[in-house]
Amino acid sequence: MELKGLKAWIIYIALDFQYIWPKLRQDDAKYGHKMLDKYESLLRQHDLRPTRQRLLISEILFGCDHRHVTAEQLRSEVADRGGNMSLATIYNTLNQFSDVGLLREIKLEENVTYYDTNNDHHHHFYDPKQSKLIDIPSEQISLDKLPDVPDGQTIDRVDVIIRLS
Ligand SMILES: [Zn+2]
């Protein structure tokens, strides 16, 4: 009885990981370390359960240099890796990642939100023609004069977005 339950559990795990496992294992071979373990502990450190969706998204977002992505871009990258997630799932995951500080949300216009994997304080150039954000180190912008803050409030931070044409 016990063995039967164990078998069912193993099959469940195998099914659960079937589509991300080969990709992540390839990366393991390529980079010579355990990618799965890396993202699993990253998620756990931020009190997020390492579901297969979160692991796949972590691997796409954090497996390379800092980047800025939209939910739509991320969805197509998930599809490129054989995954199939609804836009709602992608948004939920991005928002959860932002809530715990793994990502920074940058709202540019009403329907244009980017998610930044660089959490250090910095500013951005925005190129609307190429739909691209480019980092500006915070020390390259000096803010000499700021308006008086409404009573009882303080400035949390100042994010500068310089639009390019
Ligand atoms: Zn950035």
d(CA 135, CA 122): 7
Cα 141 to averaged position of ligand 1 atoms, centre (Å): 14
Cα 73 to averaged position of ligand 1 atoms, centre (Å): 16
- ∠ CA 21-22-26 to the nearest 5 degrees? 115
- End-to-end CA, the chain: 68
Encode pLDDT of 46-105 as tens digits.
999 999 999 999 999 998 889 999 999 999 999 998 888 999 999 999 999 999 999 999
**Who's near 16: CB < 8 A, 6+ residues apart?**
52
Cα 64 to averaged position of ligand 1 atoms, centre (Å): 14
Cα 17 to averaged position of ligand 1 atoms, centre (Å): 31
Asked if 134 contacts 114 with a C-beta cutoff of 8 angstroms, the reply is: no
Cα 10 to averaged position of ligand 1 atoms, centre (Å): 41
pLDDT of 32 above 50: no
Shortest CA distance to 164 belongs to which of 126, 120, 123?
126
The pLDDT-based confidence of 11 (bands split at 50, 70, 90) is very low
Cα 126 to averaged position of ligand 1 atoms, centre (Å): 10
Cα 140 to averaged position of ligand 1 atoms, centre (Å): 14
CATH topology of domain 2-119: Arc Repressor Mutant, subunit A (1.10.10)
pTM above 0.85, yes or no: no
Encode pLDDT of 96-153 as tens digits.
999 999 999 999 888 889 999 998 899 999 999 998 999 999 999 998 899 999 999 9
The pLDDT-based confidence of 26 (bands split at 50, 70, 90) is low
Cα 117 to averaged position of ligand 1 atoms, centre (Å): 7
